[in-house]
Amino acid sequence: MTGSGGWAWAALLLLGAYHGINPGMGWLFAVALGMQEKSSRAVWRSLAPIAAGHALSIGAVVFLAALAGMVLPPAALRISVAIILFALGIYRMVKHRHPRGGGMQVGFRDLTVWSFLMASAHGAGLMLLPILLQISPAAHAAESHIGAHSHPAVIGGATTNLLAVGVHTAGYLIVTGAIAWVVYEKLGLSLLRKAWLNLDLIWSYALIATGCLALFA
């Protein structure tokens, strides 16, 4: 995590924190469950499956990208990621619908599936790919002009990929838990009516900006 790759690990952590800020990706549901059960334990209990679903969504995207990288050269993978990010960003500007669940009486599995769908709908995993491409063996080979065409773009390798998902999820869980606790214990949902940012619109711009990063970094 040193040298030129240090910024990438910090970016993964901060990106997880940014995901945690978005109410549509976890903390709002945790607060709602806490208020329904009138217990702060419900808030904390919901965080584990919510984080698990987020991590599974991120991991699935990274895994599929790694498989694609075994057959695609780094440049082709970069362009593919950029196109998907651009398309998803524009799509989310036009449509803001979220996956719908069956109700508030949910268990660990239901929360995990819900969180997985929400993270997938937001394209959360795609945001990691440009960062992982920067710390992949192919990227380092290209920088040193040694074997730039002999290394498949397998992202960061199995260990690096797992560590990246873990670092990202840690940032997400810390921020999601902190906001859920503050809103439930101190502020209440009235805060959302007084001060509200259109995080979905900001997220759309972020997807497009990350597509630019994937294409031109």
How far is the C-alpha of 19 from the C-alpha of 185, rounded, in Å? 21
| pLDDT score at 96 | 60
| pLDDT score at 202 | 65
Instruction: Say if residue 157's pLDDT is above 50.
Output: yes
Q: Tell me if the pTM is above 0.75.
A: no
| pLDDT score at 88 | 78
Write out the chain in H/E/C secondary structure.
CCHHHHHHHHHHHHHHHHHHHCHHHCHHHHHHHHHHHCCHHHHHHHHHHHHHHHHHHHHHHHHHHHHHHCCCCHHHHHHHHHHHHHHHHHHHHHCCCCCCCCCCCCCHHHHHHHHHHHHHHCCCHHHHHHHHHHCCHHHHHHHHCCCCCCCCCCCCCHHHHHHHHHHHHHHHHHHHHHHHHHHHHHHCCHHHHHCCCCHHHHHHHHHHHHHHHHHHC
| pLDDT score at 17 | 92
pLDDT band at 104 (very low <50, low <70, confident <90, very high): very low
Residue whose C-alpha is closest to residue 153's, from 58, 70, 78: 70
| pLDDT score at 189 | 61
The encoded tokens of residue 136 equal 């992949």
Contacts of 117 (CB under 8 A, 6+ apart): 53, 57, 99
Who has greater pLDDT, 204 or 183?
Answer: 183
Instruction: Say if residue 150's pLDDT is above 70.
Output: no
Q: What is the mean pLDDT of residues 93-121?
A: 68
pLDDT in tens, 45-55: 889 999 999 99
Tell me how many degrees the CA angle 39-28-161 measures, rounded to the nearest 5: 110
| pLDDT score at 31 | 84
